[in-house]
């Protein structure tokens, strides 16, 4: 689900070095299917040219409240009435103060003040020096703006143009894009707590070797992102993967199947939905060597014995909360063949209301997938699509079943 497709956004730029990120954000919004009208303050023009923003947005940029292009000379009215939202990025400390006090001495602040509050939301991405951000005046302004219904995005942390390091950086364009997608997404799981497992597990043989699988964790992380965008409070328990944590998602990293089992047991009591996407190892070596096992030239291979790992999904699905309907469980089955038969049998064995099957070798590490949803009524195919689109579809399926 591309929640920005067809949206018309006013992108406002106030003064600050972070204006360079607004160029990337504008391009990303257009690529996501939104139309973008850029409005810049005089201060912003010291950091970014209107020509650049015009080229990226495909629209003439507005910089003055006295712009004669508008027949009624009321750009602040016309632009705000056409918008699905106004996004100010960067929003300087000065501009936040303007918003708080209702000052309107330039087109951007005038437009924000004149917007229909009930139908045109205002989102701001603060950008400033760390001391300016931490100043009590700024913090009071931010708190009051939130109370007034303005959606204030987080700030980033790191190196700043002034040479200092700390909070106050504007979020990266990709982060703002993800927040905007979440903002417009239907809140199908609002008020729900979702626990997701993702990725492979790693079962050590010795300090340098182990048993794992080819799961990349991409499907699980897409599900975590989709659940968060659907309004849920999301925790993802991740095996060893190289993926960035989705915005707004709490992450717990684990290594082995036993680690994942322990983490799930510690977290699941707070969840209403449990989605077991992880490809958990069925077995582990019964012992782990303290030192690397060396070959000695004899041609003899080490004798490994295995013990069964705990069945995380079955334990959770057969718990009292799940059996009474207080916890909705979704399992995943990564198979190599006979998907319907294996997924159906696994659903019954694990006692889950919904089992999602896929062919592992054709999806591990890929950005797309095809899913088979199996429940008590039968099976439904979700044709091959991006994992994020499939995750969005799965959230809708879960919400409908709840």
Show me where the domains of the chain are located. Answer: 8-184, 193-291+299-401
- With cut-offs at 50, 70 and 90, classify the pLDDT of residue 311: very high
In this prediction, residue 44 carries a pLDDT of: 97
Count of residues for the chain? 402
- With cut-offs at 50, 70 and 90, classify the pLDDT of residue 188: very high
- Find out whether 11 and 57 touch, Cβ atoms under 8 Å: yes
Number of Cβ within a 10 Å radius of residue 214? 12
Average pLDDT of the segment spanning 69-92: 92
Q: What is the DSSP string of 174-208?
A: HHHHHHHHHHHS--TTTT-EEEEEESB--EEEETT
pLDDT at 246 over 80: yes
In this prediction, residue 325 carries a pLDDT of: 93
Rounded alpha-carbon distances, angstroms, from residue 223 to 153, 159, 195, 198, 218:
22, 31, 10, 9, 9
The pairs formed by 59-63 with CB atoms below 8 angstroms and a separation of 24 or more are 59/35, 62/37, 62/38, 62/107, 63/39, 63/107
Residues 249-282, buried b or exposed e (16+ Cβ, 10 A)?
Answer: bebbebbbbbbbbebbeebbeebbbbbbbbbbbe
β pairing state of 233-238 and 250-253: parallel
111-165 tens-digit pLDDT: 999 999 999 999 999 999 999 999 999 999 999 999 999 999 999 989 888 888 8
Phi, psi (rounded to 5 degrees) for 338: 45, 55
Question: What rounded mean pLDDT belongs to the chain?
Answer: 94
Rounded alpha-carbon distances, angstroms, from residue 124 to 72, 96, 242, 392, 394:
28, 8, 30, 26, 31
User: Cα 99–39–1 angle (5° rounding)?
Assistant: 90
In this prediction, residue 1 carries a pLDDT of: 64
Rounded alpha-carbon distances, angstroms, from residue 351 to 313, 325, 354:
9, 12, 9
Q: pLDDT exceeding 90 applies to what percent of the chain?
A: 87
10-55 tens-digit pLDDT: 999 999 999 999 999 999 999 999 999 999 999 999 999 999 999 9
162 counts as catalytic: yes
107-117 tens-digit pLDDT: 999 999 999 99
Cite the DSSP H helix spans in 32-129. 50-57, 75-82, 93-101, 107-114
SS3 73: coil
pTM: 0.89
**Alpha carbons 284 and 280: distance in angstroms, whole number:** 10
In this prediction, residue 159 carries a pLDDT of: 87
pLDDT at 72 over 90: no
Instruction: Say yes or no: do domains 8-184 and 193-291+299-401 share a fold.
Output: yes
pLDDT at 203 over 80: yes
**Which has more pLDDT, 335 or 221?**
221
In this prediction, residue 284 carries a pLDDT of: 95
- With cut-offs at 50, 70 and 90, classify the pLDDT of residue 68: confident
Cα 332 off chain centre by: 21
Q: Is 193-291+299-401 assigned to CATH 3.40.50.1110?
A: no
* 272: CB partners within 8 A, 6+ apart: 192, 193, 194, 326, 327, 328
Of 19, 26, 162, 329, which residue is the catalytic one? 162
Look up the CATH superfamily of 8-184: Flavin prenyltransferase-like (3.40.50.1950)
Average pLDDT of the segment spanning 320-341: 93
161-185 tens-digit pLDDT: 888 889 999 999 999 999 999 999 9
269-307 tens-digit pLDDT: 999 999 999 999 999 999 999 999 988 888 888 889 999
Average pLDDT of the segment spanning 215-224: 96
13 forms beta bridges with 40
- Find out whether 114 and 41 touch, Cβ atoms under 8 Å: no
Radius of gyration for the alpha carbons in the chain, expressed in angstroms and rounded: 25
**Alpha carbons 331 and 378: distance in angstroms, whole number:** 15
């Amino acid at each position: 689900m591309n929640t920005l497709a067809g949206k018309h956004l006013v992108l406002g730029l106030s003064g600050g070095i972070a204006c360079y990120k607004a160029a990337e954000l504008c391009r990303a919004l257009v690529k996501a299917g939104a139309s973008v009208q850029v409005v810049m303050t005089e201060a912003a023009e010291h950091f970014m040219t209107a020509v650049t923003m015009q080229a990226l947005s495909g629209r003439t940029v507005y910089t003055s409240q006295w712009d004669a292009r508008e027949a009624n000379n009321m750009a602040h009215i016309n632009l705000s009435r056409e918008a699905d939202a106004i996004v100010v990025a960067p929003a300087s400390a000065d501009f936040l103060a303007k918003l708080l006090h209702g000052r309107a001495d330039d087109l951007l602040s005038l437009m924000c003040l004149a917007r229909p509050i009930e139908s045109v939301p205002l989102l701001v991405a603060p950008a400033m020096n760390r001391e300016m951000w931490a100043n009590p005046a700024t913090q009071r302004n931010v708190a009051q703006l939130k109370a007034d219904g303005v959606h204030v995005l987080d700030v980033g942390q790191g190196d700043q143009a002034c040479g200092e390091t700390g909070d106050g950086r504007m979020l990266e364009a990709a982060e703002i894009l993800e927040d905007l997608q979440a903002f417009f997404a239907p809140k199908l799981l609002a008020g729900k707590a979702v626990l997701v497992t993702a990725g492979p597990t790693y079962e050590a043989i010795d300090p340098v070797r182990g048993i794992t699988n080819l799961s990349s964790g991409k499907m699980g992380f897409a599900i975590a992102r989709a659940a968060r965008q659907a309004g849920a409070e999301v925790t993802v328990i991740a095996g060893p993967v190289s993926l960035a944590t989705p915005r707004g998602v709490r992450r717990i990293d684990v290594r082995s199947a036993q680690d994942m089992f322990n983490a799930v047991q510690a977290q699941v009591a707070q969840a209403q939905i449990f989605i077991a996407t992880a490809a958990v190892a069925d077995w582990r070596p019964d012992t782990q060597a303290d030192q690397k096992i060396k070959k000695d030239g004899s041609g003899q291979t080490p004798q490994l014995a295995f013990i069964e790992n705990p069945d995380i999904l079955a334990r959770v699905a057969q718990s009292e909360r799940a059996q009474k309907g207080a916890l909705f469980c979704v399992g995943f089955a990564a198979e190599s063949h006979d998907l319907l038969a294996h997924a159906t049998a696994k659903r019954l064995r694990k006692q889950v209301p919904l089992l999602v099957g896929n062919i592992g070798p054709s999806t591990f590490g890929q950005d797309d997938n095809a899913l088979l949803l199996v429940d008590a009524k039968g099976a439904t195919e979700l044709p091959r699509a991006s994992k994020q689109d499939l995750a969005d579809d799965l959230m809708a399926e879960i919400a409908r079943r709840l």
